[in-house]
């Protein structure tokens, strides 16, 4: 499918066979209605584009494949969760600038579970967390491998609140000079009971080639002791200390 100009109706399921060449989309899809399911599809994502953009509620994407261009390096975004809620399971993201971009919206739930996220520039980009205690984000039980810059990167603004944000039980095989979980954003100490305490509940594998190195995680706060700070510099033992309130 090379063009997709019509809005997808609420409650629709688009089901493919899940094979490499079946139900292939070369056009971007926008899920702006609720309760839409995509299953067993393949998305060929071009530079500067997103395979699927989600603005509706209760989107469900499973067992689908998102791949970047064959040449020119990683490009495009597999799934852009621009607002709304979504569950992403059993899918593959390969050769993209970002496998998935998550801009969490107030009082919405996003879950990425059991996906394979490989050979992208960044596996998952999280663009902040809103000031709403009902918001939930879980990134769990995924396999990350060969992502050149970061497996998971946290950007934007994170509201200073107790937040239901978990990154746990992922397998993260690090590329040379990459970081597993990184932040360019200030992460308040209020996230320590969920995000902070689960950062080490992931399996990190460092590169083994001669002169290769990587960082398992590097999260920093904005105001020192008032914010969660977790830093790992690829030493043998995972650190277990934090500053800030628990």
Q: In what order do the strands lie in the sheet with 86-89?
A: 13-15, 37-39, 59-62, 86-89, 109-113, 136-140, 164-168
Residue 227 pLDDT? 55
Vertex 82 angle, CA 77 and 88, to 5°: 65
Percent of the chain with pLDDT over 90: 59
246: its two tokens:
């628990």
Task: Report whether pLDDT(4) > 80.
Answer: no
pLDDT band at residue 228 using 50, 70 and 90 as cut-offs: low
Tens of pLDDT, residue by residue over 8-41, are 899 999 998 766 666 789 989 999 999 999 999 9
**Shortest CA distance to 199 belongs to which of 157, 235, 159, 170?**
170
pLDDT band at residue 225 using 50, 70 and 90 as cut-offs: very low
Residue 221 pLDDT? 58
Average pLDDT over residues 123-130: 95
Average pLDDT over residues 147-160: 94
Is the dihedral angle over the CA atoms 159, 162, 163, 167 positive or is it negative?
positive
Task: Report whether pLDDT(195) > 90.
Answer: no
Task: Report whether pLDDT(246) > 60.
Answer: no
Residue 82 pLDDT? 92
């Amino acid at each position: 499918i090379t063009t997709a100009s019509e809005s997808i109706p609420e409650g629709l399921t688009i089901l493919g066979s899940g094979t490499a060449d079946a139900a292939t989309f070369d056009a971007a899809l926008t899920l702006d209605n609720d309760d839409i399911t995509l299953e067993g599809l393949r998305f060929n994502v071009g530079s500067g584009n997103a395979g699927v953009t989600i603005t509706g509620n209760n989107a469900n994407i499973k067992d689908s494949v998102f791949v970047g261009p064959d040449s020119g390096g990683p490009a495009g975004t597999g799934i852009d969760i621009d607002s709304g809620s979504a569950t992403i399971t059993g899918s593959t993201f390969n050769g993209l600038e970002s496998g998935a971009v998550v801009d969490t919206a107030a009082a919405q739930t996003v879950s990425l579970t059991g996906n394979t996220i490989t050979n992208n520039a960044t596996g998952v980009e999280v663009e902040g967390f809103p000031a709403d205690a009902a918001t939930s984000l879980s990134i769990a039980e995924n396999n990350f491998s060969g992502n050149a810059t970061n497996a998971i990167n946290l950007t934007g603004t994170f509201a200073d609140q107790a937040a239901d944000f978990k990154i746990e039980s992922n397998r993260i095989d690090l590329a040379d000079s990459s970081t597993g979980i990184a932040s360019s954003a200030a992460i308040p100490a209020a996230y320590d009971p969920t995000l902070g305490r689960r950062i080490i509940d992931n399996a990190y594998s460092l590169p083994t080639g001669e002169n290769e190195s990587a960082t398992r995680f590097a999260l920093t706060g904005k105001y020192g002791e008032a914010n969660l700070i977790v830093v790992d510099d690829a030493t043998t033992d995972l650190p277990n200390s934090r500053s800030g309130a628990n």
